[in-house]
């Protein structure tokens, strides 16, 4: 049974996380430059953007008209200073 609960994504959008058959697809890790580029945008909507914690997932290398799909998880602090929970992100 799959978990089809919606999860909060930055910008208060909702996304439905579904299992994807990408096990055999080639992958690569994000470069340091890619992480530095995305981090400020992904943490901008958080209470304490300097305390954002990221879990960067590998980039799946598929041919889609030159488009690269990125995804990962971000954790931010709440009003009480505690971390909330990891939330999925997919920068577009």
User: Of all helices (H) and strands (E), which one includes residue 81?
Assistant: none
Please check whether residue 32 lies inside any domain of the structure.
Answer: yes
Is the distance from CB of 30 to CB of 42 less than 8 angstroms?
Answer: no
Please give the tally of structural domains in the chain.
Answer: 1
What is the reported pLDDT for 75?
93
Give yes or no for a contact between 49 and 42, defined as CB atoms under 8 angstroms apart: no
Residue 59 lies in a domain: yes
Domain of residue 85: give its range: 6-89
Q: What is the pLDDT along the chain (92 residues), one digit of tens a residue?
A: 444 444 334 443 444 444 455 556 788 899 999 999 989 988 988 889 999 999 999 888 776 777 777 889 999 999 999 999 898 888 66
Tell whether 1 is covered by a domain. no
Cα angle 36, 25, 88 (rounded to 5 degrees) comes to: 45
């Amino acid at each position: 049974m799959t978990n089809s609960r919606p999860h909060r994504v930055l910008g208060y959008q909702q996304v439905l996380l579904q299992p994807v058959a990408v096990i055999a697809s080639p992958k690569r890790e994000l470069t340091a430059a890619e992480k530095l580029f995305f981090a400020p945008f992904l943490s901008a909507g958080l209470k304490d953007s300097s305390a954002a914690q990221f879990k960067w997932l590998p980039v799946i290398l598929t041919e889609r008209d030159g488009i690269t799909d990125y995804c990962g998880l971000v954790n931010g602090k709440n009003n009480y200073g505690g971390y909330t929970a990891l939330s999925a992100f997919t920068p577009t």
